Structure 1
Amino acid sequence: MDRRAFARRLSSAARWFVFALSAGVVGLSGAQERGTGDLGVVIERASGSVLIVAHTTPEVLARVEGLGDLSHASVVFSRDQRFAYIFGRDGALTKIDLLRPGIVARVQQAGNSIGGAISQDGRLVVAQNYEPGGIVAFDADDLHRVAEVPAKAGPDGKASKVVGLADLPGQRFAYALFDAGEICVSDFSVPDTPRTECASAGRQPYDGLVTPDGRFYLAGLFGEDGVALWDSWHPEAGVRRILDGYGRGEALLPVYKMPHLRGWAQAGERLFLPAIGRHEVLVVDRRDWRELGRVAVAGQPVFVMARPDGREIWVNFAFPDNGRVQVIDAETLTVRDTLVPGQAVLHMEFTPKGDQVWVSCRDDDRVVVYDALTHQERNRFAARSPSGIFFTHRATRFGM
């Protein structure tokens, strides 16, 4: 082999080595060799820490501490699934490395925050804030502030709380203004000069979701019966109402915990949504947005989540029924199983192809892993007041 051919081959090997490092294929400086697609994090809300976990085994790999108030924390992942961005209730945004466990960057960006999203190209991380309201965009590499979009004032004259932030195609983000009753879309195609348009949605939109194709944004309404729908393909049509008055004329039960519309489910052409103040799951036709029926369940649903194959819908509940999980048959719309994993079930997460479902039991300080096909317990491990569970395959999906 002549020297030029050797140099070309060496250069190619060097490029592959650099790529492998960034993708998590090769370990370095104590980092374990593993693919990042097998990883995830479990929020330990009481201690301001997270567990880094692997779901193939399943097992706990490490704990990262010093993350502040995680009482309502959420997580998004970098494009290569190596880094997790954690949004704390105290307004802090923290970037952690899943392969070399530790904090990479951290900013105190607001006084009160409940989540965020990452852009389609993975270059911007955007936080949604309660206090002082509005959204703030950060560079995904080092978390320096890129731009912010203030929120319209609510009836009290203060900037509205922002909820339901979701990423859309084309560097856009949709979100709801709880106090101002609007849905807004901010376009960050020019990152430091975002363009924002808003439209009336109804009273107190409390959470939002985007369909898997990134086209439709839905915001649940807390102040009235109904859901607001916005079509990103036809923004000129504005916001329309669906499921209007689904509880009209009936007394609502006290709401002990706000349902998470983000924890929705789609199975074929059906959507499954939690009903506010009711012991029901709403079933909606994805094609025309009309109600198809309801499934009576054991309590007020919080998360309504589809197994990845769409065959089953798993539901957890608000207090006082939060020690149970029910499984709905997506075809017959009947409850086929009731599980009792532990006290205060806060969250569930399926592995990418749905062979497992992980369930956090806050008051028992444990996570229970079920075989999602047989509903039999497969494993369990200790965690400090666990809440949210997030696996890295979320990086490949809109609205996650």
Structure 2
Amino acid sequence: MKSLRHLGGSFLMAALIAVAGSAAAADVRMLYPEHCGACHGETRLGGVGPALLPENLERLRKPEALNVIRDGRVATQMPGFAEKLSSDELQQLADWIYTPVIPAPIWGEKEIRDSHVVDAAASRLPARPGPGLRGADPLNLFIVVETGDHHVSVLDGDRLERLHRFPSRYALHGGPKFSPDGRFVYFASRDGWITKFDLYNLVVVAEVRAGLNTRNAAVSGDGKWVLVANYLPHSLVLLDAADLSLVRIIPTWNVTGDKTSRVSAVYDAAPRKSFVVALKDVPEAWELSYDPAAEPVAEGMVHDFQYKEGEFKPGMFHPRRTILKDHLDDFFFTQSYDEILGSSRSATKGQVILLDGRKKIADLDLPGMPHLGSGITWKLKDAAGGERTVMASPNLNAGLVTVIDLNTYKNLKQIPTLGPGFFLRSHENSRYAFTDSMMSKENRNVLQVIDKQSLEVVAQISAAPGQTLAHVEFTRDGRYALASLWEMDGALLVIDTETLREVKRIPARKPVGKYNVWNKISRSEGTSH
């Protein structure tokens, strides 16, 4: 009887534990949709924020994830929940995001092809500016991404007027890409949709869902290809730029073939006829040539390079790997496209990578968390009349802009700002660069204007306290700069770049970014590429 009573007690304890576990699971299934689902997706597959799955959180340990949920994350839109949730609730969420989703999400060739939609009539429209542009210069158009109500506006950069507005996919990535002639613009949404839009005729041409959680996309310099960088699945997806049909899926296996990675970013290196890719979870940078005459890529044992004796792969769209000691979360091309300057959230220094040599050639002294993807370059003149090319980057968790000599890769100056910022923009015809402090609670409403020769902040442009003023883009000729008042009832502030005075406001619904066609396709030194 004693053993039976003991056994009954064990059953009772097990039942109580099971009930408690079920209650905790029920609690977290209510907590997650209420506090997390709007940004990270109801099924944790991502939206405005990244997917929250074990395979996407390998670089974030659970105690660190708990800290992020409690305190928020610098340089992102992730808030802290310490004042809204108890310690137990915070821990439940941290545990929940590390549990697998069942059934596991799948998005492969069949799903991509099934999602593909082409407007046949739109694809046959004439290759000349249509009446909807009202005579506007098609190379001085602005594309404005308005996330407040998920729309995109097309602005005339000469008259500074809205020409057209159309609904977009949910949570567009802030950086649309253009065809080399400027006729087409390609959008990527965080939930994987790629949209091709005809700026001459103001119509959507094609769409396809290339992934479940997408980082960004790039268009090749010859206008033939679109490469999509995915967080989920871990892949690159190559599309035909003509109609967005699937060409191939490139899984992001590391060099040893035992681990896959999310893709941090992909950018076009047009002078090299290639895409350059940063991988988030493995310390590698890839270069994928889209040149049909590209040299074969050597893999494994090679007996003779000259006679191609060994294991070689076709050069086109096969990754040439640069093996690194640290991951790349962000990078910047030098103007020659021979090197990239890269940084990682977890590293204390940046690195300079020679693409042809496939190796790191220098360290960068980059305090804080530089945002190299928003870096710009210009010619800095010295007292003797000589000049050198410099690169400048804002910083996501420190109030400074770092200026680097691109000949020596040494810091020339740390320019103090009013707080951490996200964007830095200029133009070849302007003496000024504009940066924000949008990561600062107190000063996110203030743009700072930097003189590119004295390397000093010489002016401020302010919105109302508590508002966010950020992301500047110049007109084609550099005469005006457009800044985003990043509010639901926001606006584009048009600033005269000589007087630094506001001359006009164009209403917009949370305009997170605007992009001038000419500045992008000409690879202006004052904007990101």
Q: Normalising by structure 1, what TM-score?
A: 0.84
Q: Which runs of 5+ in 2 are unaligned?
A: 1-124, 295-313, 380-388
The 8 Å contact of residues 469 and 483 in structure 2, kept in 1 or not, is answered as yes
Within the candidate set 342, 347, 354, 1:219 is matched to 342
Worse overlay, 190-199 or 130-139: 190-199
Cα distance in structure 2, aligned partners of 1:74 and 1:35? 21
Cα shift readout 1:147-180 (whole Å, capped 9, x = no counterpart)? 33222369xx863221232211242111211221
- 393, 401, 418: which one aligns with 1:281: 401
**How far, CA to CA, are the matches of 1:279 and 1:334 in structure 2?**
14
Alignment of 1:327 with 2:449, yes or no, is: yes
The C-alpha deviation readout for 1:107-156, integer Å capped at 9, x for no partner, is 111111132211111111212121113322211111111233222369xx
CA distance in 1, matches of 2:361, 2:280: 17
1:308–1:352 contact (8 Å) kept in structure 2: no
2:420 aligned residue (292, 300, 311): 300
Q: What does residue 385 of structure 1 align with?
A: 510
Distance (Å, rounded) in 1 between the aligned partners of 2:208 and 2:259: 24
SS at match of 1:262: helix
Shift in Å, 1:236: 2.2
Task: Describe how 1:112-261 pairs up with structure 2 within 5 A.
Answer: 112-152=213-253, 159-168=260-269, 169-190=271-292, 193-232=316-355, 235-236=356-357, 238-244=359-365, 246-247=366-367, 260-261=371-372
Question: CA, structure 1 residues 54+260, in 2 after alignment: closer, same or farther (shift >3 Å)?
Answer: farther
SS at 1:236 equivalent: coil
8 Å Cα contact 2:128-2:200 kept in structure 1: no
Mapped to 2, the partners of 1:162 and 1:240 lie a distance apart of: 23
CA contact (8 A) 2:375 2:424 kept: yes
Contact conserved, 1:207 with 1:260, CA < 8 A, in 2? Answer: yes
Once the two structures are TM-superposed, the CA of residue 211 in structure 1 deviates from its matched residue by 2.3
- Closer/same/farther in 2, CA of residues 276 and 382 from structure 1, 3 Å limit: closer
Q: Which has the higher strand share?
A: 1
Rounded Cα–Cα distance in structure 2 between residues aligned with 1:202 and 1:237: 13
The Cα of 1:276 is off from its aligned counterpart by 4.5
1-side partners of 2:238 and 2:322: how far apart?
A: 21
Contact residue 203 and residue 221 of structure 1 kept, 8 A: yes
Letter in structure 1 aligned against 2:410: R
Counterparts of 1:345 and 1:276, CA distance in 2: 15
Name the SS for the 1:327 alignment partner: strand
Structure-2 separation of matches of 1:329 and 1:338: 12
Which sits farther off after the overlay, 50-59 or 304-313?
A: 304-313
Per-residue deviation, residues 180-203 of structure 1 (Å, max 9, x unmatched): 132211112249951212223443
**Aligned with residue 377 of structure 2, among 266, 272, 281:** 266
Q: CA 1:380–1:113 in 2, change beyond 3 Å: closer, same or farther?
A: same
Aligned to 2:523: 397
Distance 1:159 1:365, change over 3 A: farther
Structure 1 CA distance for aligned equivalents of residues 515 and 393 of structure 2: 20
1:110 corresponds, among 192, 211, 216, to 211
Work out the CA distance in 1 between the residues paired with 2:463 and 2:323.
Answer: 41
Amino acid of the residue matched to residue 406 of structure 2? R
- Shift in Å, 1:316: 1.2
Q: Aligned partners of 2:513 and 2:414: how far apart in 1?
A: 27
Q: 1:194 to 1:237 in 2, by over 3 A?
A: closer
Among 446, 470, 473, the alignment partner of 1:349 is 473
Using a 3 Å threshold, how does the CA distance of structure 1 residues 341 and 202 change in structure 2: closer, same or farther? Answer: farther
| Counterpart position of 1:58 | 160
- Asked whether the equivalents of residues 174 and 217 of structure 1 are also in contact (C-alpha less than 8 Å), the reply is no
Q: Is the Cα contact below 8 Å between 1:165 and 1:208 reproduced in 2? A: no
- Deviation of 1:328 (Å): 1.0
Higher relative contact order (Cα pairs below 8 Å, separated by 6+ residues):
1
TM-score by length of 2: 0.64
Instruction: Flag the 1:356–1:133 CA change in 2: closer, same or farther, 3 A.
Output: farther
Structure 1 regions of 5+ residues with no counterpart? Answer: 1-19, 253-257
CA distance in 1, matches of 2:377, 2:432: 10
Q: Which residue of 2 aligns with 1:359?
A: 483
Query: Structure 1 residue 84: deviation in Å?
Result: 0.9
Superposed CA RMSD: 2.5
Classify the secondary structure of the residue corresponding to 2:319: strand
Q: How many residues align?
A: 364
- CA shift, 1:373, in A, is 1.7
Aligned-partner Cα distance in 1 for 2:396–2:490? 28
1 or 2, which has the higher helix percentage?
Answer: 2
Q: Deviations for 1:46-68, whole angstroms, at most 9, x for unmatched residues?
A: 32210011111101111111422
Q: 1:346 to 1:182 in 2, by over 3 A?
A: farther
Which residue of 436, 442, 460 corresponds with 1:338? 460
Q: Alpha carbons of 1:395 and 1:304: their partners in 2 closer, same or farther (altered >3 Å)?
A: same
Cα separation, 2, equivalents of 1:214 and 1:353: 24
Alpha-carbon shift at residue 223 of structure 1 (Å): 0.8
Amino acid at match of 2:288: S
> 1:188 touches 1:195 (CA, 8 Å); kept in 2?
no
Q: Secondary structure at the match of 2:521?
A: helix
Superposed CA deviations along residues 64-84 of structure 1, whole A, max 9, x for unmatched, are: 1142222x3320111221211
Structure 2 vs 1, CA of residues 86 and 197 (structure 1 numbering), >3 Å: closer, same or farther?
A: same
Contact 2:371 2:395 (C-alpha < 8 Å) held by counterparts: no
Deviations along 1:238-296, one digit per CA (max 9) or x if unpaired, are 1234224x43xxxx6xxxxx764222121211111123522111111111211112111
Determine if contact 1:147/1:194 at 8 Å carries over to the other structure: no
